[in-house]
A and B are shown apart, each in its own frame.
Chain A
Amino acid sequence: MCILINGFVGTKLLLSNPQIEILTVVEMLAVFAVYTIVNFAQIRKDINDRKNAKKKLVYTARVKRLIAWNFVLFILLYASFIAPSLYNYEGVTNLALLNVLTNMNAIMAHVYYSIFIALIPFNVLLANYLAWPTEMGINDRFIKQAKRKLKKKDYKNLIRIGITGSYGKTSTKFILKTILSEKYNVLATPESYNTTMGNVRVIREQLKPEHEVFISEMGARYRRDIAEICDFVRPQYSMITSIGPQHLETFKSIDNIIKTKADIINTMEADGVVFLPKDNEHCKKLYNKETREKYSYSLKSKDADVYAENIVLDENGSNFVAVTSIGKINCSTKLLGEHNIENILGCIAIAVKLELSAEQIEAGVKKIEPVPHRLQILNNNNGTIVIDDAFNSNPVGAKMAIDVLGKFKGRKIVITPGMVELGKEEKNENRKFGKHMASVVDIAILVGQKRSEPIVEGLKQGKFDEMNIFVVQDLKSATAKLAEISRVGDVILFENDLPDSYNE
């Protein structure tokens, strides 16, 4: 506030100072005006970018606190720049920026002004460090509230199910919710909420005593993430959908991924029940080691507790027979891809354990709707079929998506930037993806010059016609290219749409 008042006083004093030539002030104002134009052009661009962003900035309480911390940092920065230039004019200590600038070399003033903007990324980081104790305190309070709520006698009989996995978590959660809703009042974490605070928020704000089942999706990017969520959710039923090379960049090794995912089982009470897919080699190892009550499910192995028979996959969905301990269940679903059948089998295993009848399960499976952006068929009026698999970014899912595309008739077009966050394996996986693509796809539109290099290599290895490879700079150019080349009857797969924070 002192600086603010001083600024006004200083400006007035500056202009009444006979020692400063009016021309100098005019020059400085002109320089400032140029900076302002440049800055506002940038700000306008920023606002437009944010408006068009796939994931918009949400002004949460945390963001507001972060902005406040940034403002504090700016004041400190501002004052620290001004402080050395303090001078006393007619007995008033003056902090006015213009006063300092008019005594500076103009180039220095230019640097000085630019520094404020250039330092923002560092200031955000610093602000986060400053805010860290407060944020930790707030988070801790919310976690404790969620914990206390779940311990209340209103929730004594609440069935808690935890779902984790390298991929397939969100789809499995929605499938399970749909099936279990045939018998129970179910609450599941919405959308892709799978962080600690996401789960906490749902428990605090949405969980009601009338809910009979709570399904928690647990995501992880770091070693202790799952254990942290399990600490307050305390699932009685746990399911790992898959273990694979996802987020290798932060996990560093597949061993760390296995340990992290296994935390969902290891943190359970002795009477907890575990559900694992037998077709995943890492999950199979966990299954063999597990001493708690356990159930397996499989697409391929008839040794599993729940498995599929007579699988028929086509462009309209899938039909199969689920073999369970309560008998064979005819399943028909709109979901595309074999991996979704595997997810359904896992959910059926849980449903059987929770005593749903075969009829209820059959009815539940029929009601499953595709999860947005996960092999979702979109209605298109121009005679083309669009498969939106934008939220998929793992090697298994990407391969499956190409296989699903292969089930369709018509010319097949893929738009993809490839997969990310696979660490050292990223190039190799993208190369394999390209090679697999070559066997199914007719036209490949690849987003990002550098990013798509390994995919192009893979396509070439698969003897793909180079004339049908188009590399574009961004998604906007990709859709423009698509509009140019697509025709009636084409099937277009959008495979993995990178978030706004990913650039070449």
Chain B
Amino acid sequence: MLKFVITVFSMVLEYLPWIIYMLCTPRIIHFFQMEGYKTADYTRWLGRNLKTAFGPGIKQLLAVRSDGLDVYFD
């Protein structure tokens, strides 16, 4: 039973990065659209809004420590 549960979870989690990546993309595309699809304007926006643009990735990196889940790491 445990093996079955793990198998199902593994299958789901295997593709989670795909799902999460695709769900996170519209957030940035929204800003890109607001900047009129212009690369120059978008890069200027990126430079000025590092926190907004890269925050979730950084948050992700820091999440484990802040959640006290170090126990799961070697």
Q: Which A residues form the contact surface with B (CB < 8 A)?
A: 4, 7-8, 10-12, 14-15, 22, 25-27, 29-36, 38-40, 42-43, 46, 49-50, 53, 55, 57-58, 60, 62-63, 66-67, 70-71, 74, 78, 96-98, 105-107, 110-111, 113-121, 123-125, 128-129, 135, 195, 221-222, 249-250, 499-501, 503
Asked whether B30 lies within 8 Å of A128 as measured between CB atoms, the reply is no
* B30-74 with Cβ < 8 A to chain A: 30-46, 48-49, 51-54, 56-61, 63-64, 67, 69, 72-74
* B7-23 with Cβ < 8 A to chain A: 7, 9-11, 13-18, 20-23
From B34, B41, B73, A250 is in contact (CB under 8 Å) with B41
Which residues of B lie under 8 Å from residue A27 when comparing CB positions? 72
Q: How far is the CB of B53 from chain A (nearest CB, A)?
A: 4
Which residues of B lie under 8 Å from residue A123 when comparing CB positions? 25
Asked whether A116 lies within 8 Å of B10 as measured between CB atoms, the reply is no
Q: Which B residues form the contact surface with A (CB < 8 A)?
A: 2-3, 6-7, 9-11, 13-18, 20-46, 48-49, 51-54, 56-61, 63-64, 67, 69, 72-74
List 19 interface pairs A-B (beta carbons < 8 Å), by A numbering: A11-B10, A36-B16, A40-B20, A46-B24, A46-B27, A57-B29, A63-B29, A66-B29, A67-B22, A70-B22, A105-B74, A106-B73, A117-B20, A118-B57, A120-B25, A121-B28, A124-B29, A125-B43, A501-B35
Nearest residue (CB) in B for A8 is: B11
Q: How far is the CB of B21 from chain A (nearest CB, A)?
A: 5
Known: A31-B69, A129-B39, A503-B52. A74 touches B18 (CB 8 A): yes
Nearest residue (CB) in B for A24 is: B74
Which residues of A lie under 8 Å from residue B9 when comparing CB positions? 29
Q: How far is the CB of B9 from chain A (nearest CB, A)?
A: 6
Total cross-chain contacts (CB, 8 A)? 183
From B7, B36, B72, A11 is in contact (CB under 8 Å) with B7
Known: A67-B29, A98-B10. A32 touches B56 (CB 8 A): no
From A50, A67, A121, B54 is in contact (CB under 8 Å) with A121
Q: How far is the CB of B70 from chain A (nearest CB, A)?
A: 10
Q: CA separation between A35 and B24, bound complex, in Å?
A: 13
Known: A50-B27, A118-B57, A121-B53. A96 touches B18 (CB 8 A): no
From A53, A62, A111, B30 is in contact (CB under 8 Å) with A53
Asked whether A128 lies within 8 Å of B42 as measured between CB atoms, the reply is yes
Q: CA separation between A346 and B27, bound complex, in Å?
A: 42
Asked whether B10 lies within 8 Å of A29 as measured between CB atoms, the reply is yes
Q: How far is the CB of A94 from chain B (nearest CB, A)?
A: 11
Q: CA separation between A438 and B49, bound complex, in Å?
A: 31
Asked whether A34 lies within 8 Å of B69 as measured between CB atoms, the reply is yes
Which residues of A lie under 8 Å from residue B3 when comparing CB positions? 15, 22
Q: CA separation between A57 and B33, bound complex, in Å?
A: 7
Asked whether B57 lies within 8 Å of A115 as measured between CB atoms, the reply is yes
Asked whether A38 lies within 8 Å of B25 as measured between CB atoms, the reply is no
Asked whether A43 lies within 8 Å of B34 as measured between CB atoms, the reply is no
Which residues of A lie under 8 Å from residue B10 when comparing CB positions? 11, 14-15, 25, 29, 98
Q: CA separation between A117 and B54, bound complex, in Å?
A: 8
Q: CA separation between A107 and B35, bound complex, in Å?
A: 36
From B21, B32, B59, B69, A42 is in contact (CB under 8 Å) with B59
Q: CA separation between A84 and B63, bound complex, in Å?
A: 27
Asked whether A116 lies within 8 Å of B20 as measured between CB atoms, the reply is yes
Asked whether A58 lies within 8 Å of B29 as measured between CB atoms, the reply is no
Known: A29-B9, A31-B69, A42-B59. A117 touches B39 (CB 8 A): no
Which residues of A lie under 8 Å from residue B36 when comparing CB positions? 195, 221
Asked whether B11 lies within 8 Å of A11 as measured between CB atoms, the reply is yes
Asked whether B31 lies within 8 Å of A501 as measured between CB atoms, the reply is yes
Q: How far is the CB of B1 from chain A (nearest CB, A)?
A: 13
Which residues of B lie under 8 Å from residue A118 when comparing CB positions? 54, 56-58, 60-61
Which residues of B lie under 8 Å from residue A195 when comparing CB positions? 36
Asked whether A25 lies within 8 Å of B6 as measured between CB atoms, the reply is yes
Nearest residue (CB) in A for B63 is: A38
